[in-house]
Amino acid sequence: MSMDLPDPRTSPELFDGVLTRRVMAYLVDLVIISAVSLALFLLTIVAGFLTLGLAWLSLPLIAPVAVFLYYVVTLGSARRATVGMQVFDLVLTPVSGPPLEGWKALIHPFVFWVTIWLFWPLLLVGLFSQRRQLIHDMITGTLMLRRSPMERHWASQGGFEGFSA
């Protein structure tokens, strides 16, 4: 059984409003990552006093660690979506084949953060791509789709092993 994703022309509901939802999901995720970073920052400040300043050496690592932990916990889960993605009915899925798992799920956010920091104008690619893929989606071979229509598609295909609703 082929689990290739449907075409936007035959299943437009999968791609309806994806870019807007992605922006909103990113904002939700950014608030959560900021809160996690703040908590780690405060914990490191307190630990710095207890270690006579030694823990303060780790302050530059707080934001990258918070981002990494957030994506490990969310994209690495069976839902394959961050909290923001879940709120806005999105799921990250490969163009074809089995669902993302393990390190494959972490490559996407890494490439996302590199492209958004270095090549942010390339985010406009999503406005012109047929499947509303951004540059980091194309590099990693993934799609961001509406979750509820995708669940119906997977069910019509006989299910998707490893997928948790």
Residue 3 lies in a domain: no
Residue 6 lies in a domain: no
pLDDT in tens, 119-133: 777 777 778 787 788
Residue 4 lies in a domain: no
Residue 2 lies in a domain: no
Is the pLDDT reported for residue 14 higher than 70?
yes
Residue 96 lies in a domain: yes
Beta strands in the chain (DSSP E): 90-94, 142-146
- The set of long-range contacts for 50-54, using a CB threshold of 8 Å and a minimum separation of 24, is none
Q: What is the pLDDT of residue 69?
A: 87
Number of domains in the chain: 1
Phi-psi region for residue 42, left (φ > 0), alpha (ψ -120 to 50) or beta?
alpha
Claim: this prediction has a pTM higher than 0.85? no
Q: What is the pLDDT of residue 25?
A: 96
Average pLDDT value over all residues in the chain? 83
Give the CB-side neighbour count of residue 148, counting CA atoms within 13 A.
6
Under a CB-based contact definition with an 8 Å cutoff, are residues 137 and 90 in contact? no
Task: Mention every residue, 6+ apart, whose C-beta is less than 8 A from residue 160.
Answer: 3, 99, 154
- What average pLDDT does range 28-38 have in this prediction? 96
pLDDT in tens, 77-106: 888 899 999 999 998 888 766 667 767 777
pLDDT in tens, 98-110: 667 767 777 888 8
Residue 109 lies in a domain: yes
The parent domain of residue 88 ranges over 12-156
Q: Comparing 130 with 66, which gets the higher pLDDT?
A: 66
A 10 A CB-CB count for 138 gives 17
Residue 7 lies in a domain: no
A 10 A CB-CB count for 110 gives 15
